Amino acid sequence: MTTPPIRLPSGVRDFLPRAAARRRFLAEQVMELFESWGYARIITPVFECADVLERGLGAGAKAAAIRFVEPGTGEVVALRPDITPQIARVVATRLADVPGPIRLCYEGAVTRLAGDAGQREILQAGIELVDAPRESGDAEVLAVASAVLGRLKLGETRLDVGHVAPARYVFDAAPDAKPALVAAISRKDRAGVRAAARALPDHVAPLAEALVGLWGSVAATIVRARALPWPPEVMDAFAQVERAVAGSRHVDATVDFGDLRGFDYYTGIRFAGYAAGAPDAILRGGRYDELIGRYGRDARAIGFAIDLEAVAQAQRAAGIAAPVPATGVVVGDAAIAEVLRQHGLRSVVQAEVQGSWGAWLRGAGFDAAVVGDRMIRADDSERSARAEIQAARAGDIAPLIALIKA
């Protein structure tokens, strides 16, 4: 019988030390920022009972969920394609007696059926703000999103803000025309919108076509939007966006009222963060005031998730190097190794390797080896370390550290 080839399932990958270091560093940076804004970290399971998890998933996420039968109970469970429904469940059950506002943050992997991008496992970090006043909550979460984009130092970034109200008003006027309108508006296809809008009432059809062009700078776009005959609830949505952006102090924000991604999921403001070098948004979020109620607690909520893999791609495109680990050294003396660790170096006790020391050091990610009375570097260069080792054994580690770091 032929042995199957060693392989990974489609859409997942290993991250070797350098790539893993970049992603862990990104996660730690982002989570540190979230916590500095008062968001408390929680950890949720990678899979849940499918019927419970799916209460909080939109149609697209439900279709992307990977389900299987849990052997111990026979229940159908699902790998989480999104962490937000898990936060909603926790808030409605485990934190049911905790009054709002509740600020929570998370990081972890979500798993989805492969789409156009072909990736099934995505590393995410995000925040959820529950039961804060709508206006101040919108501004706060946009401010955190803006702070994250700044913290990552990606060069050219943009925070793009919208609201579901204008499109919802158009679609509610002719539900049967919604699929065609969504497809055309998403493509910014004016001719397609005009054709699909024939099913709309005469006073709504021009508004559908206008959605294609309602994007750009915040002030100018909202002025153009307000010049159109929208109903009061849509005019109020424009004001919400205006105040939220002003409150977030993100001077480079833009708006796009024709961006329909997440339309069926969000209930108010929605936004996305972009960075040069990433093929799509690196950050997405919005207001979802109806979600937590599906788990038994009537609560307002807004949040976002950042795609750490997309951020890593943007960093590579911008020429941002992966984080450099602490200096690593191999020594033959366990006591010296312990002192080196106390001074912030990575240190391993090892007397010999297979092959050359230089090749081993490069492959293992170490900078130098102190073997006997000599020091060998990863570039195969050597020099005497006798005096420095003697000093270290006498209690003075500084000369050896200076030599290693030189």
pLDDT value of position 116: 58
SS3 116: coil
pLDDT tens-place values along the chain, 406 residues long: 688 899 888 778 888 888 888 889 999 999 999 999 999 999 999 999 999 999 988 777 888 888 989 898 999 999 999 999 999 999 999 999 999 899 999 999 998 887 655 568 889 999 999 999 999 999 999 999 999 998 888 878 889 999 999 999 999 988 888 889 888 888 888 888 888 888 888 898 899 889 999 999 999 999 999 999 999 999 999 999 999 998 887 657 899 998 888 878 899 999 999 988 888 899 999 999 999 999 999 999 999 999 998 999 888 888 888 888 888 888 888 888 898 999 998 998 987 888 888 888 888 888 988 888 888 898 888 889 888 888 888 888 898 888 888 8
**Per-domain boundaries in the chain:** 8-157+278-324, 165-265, 328-405
Query: What's the topology of domain 8-157+278-324?
Result: BirA Bifunctional Protein; domain 2 (3.30.930)
Query: What's the topology of domain 328-405?
Result: Rossmann fold (3.40.50)
164, 181, 266 from 197: Cα distances, Å: 18, 7, 23
pLDDT value of position 316: 86
SS3 339: helix
Of the candidates 348, 347, 291, 369, the residue with the CA atom closest to the CA atom of residue 83: 291
pLDDT value of position 220: 93
Give the alpha-carbon dihedral of 95, 133, 32, 25, to 10 degrees: 100
Pairwise CA distance, residues 230 & 236, whole Å: 10
Amino acid making up residue 75: E
Per DSSP bridges, beta strands 40-41 and 47-49 are unpaired
Pairwise CA distance, residues 367 & 20, whole Å: 19
Please give the full DSSP string across 201-231, using - where no structure is assigned: -TTTHHHHHHHTT-EEEHHHHHHHHHTS---
Fold agreement (8-157+278-324, 328-405): no
Q: What is the pLDDT of residues 113-141, one digit of tens each?
A: 876 555 688 899 999 999 999 999 999 99
pLDDT value of position 165: 94
Which residues 6+ apart lie within 8 Å of 202 measured at CB?
Answer: none
Distance of CA 205 to the CA centre of its chain: 37
Query: Contacts from 393-400 at CB under 8 Å and sequence distance 24+?
Result: 393/333, 393/335, 393/336, 397/336, 397/339, 397/340, 397/343, 400/336, 400/340, 400/370
SS3 133: coil
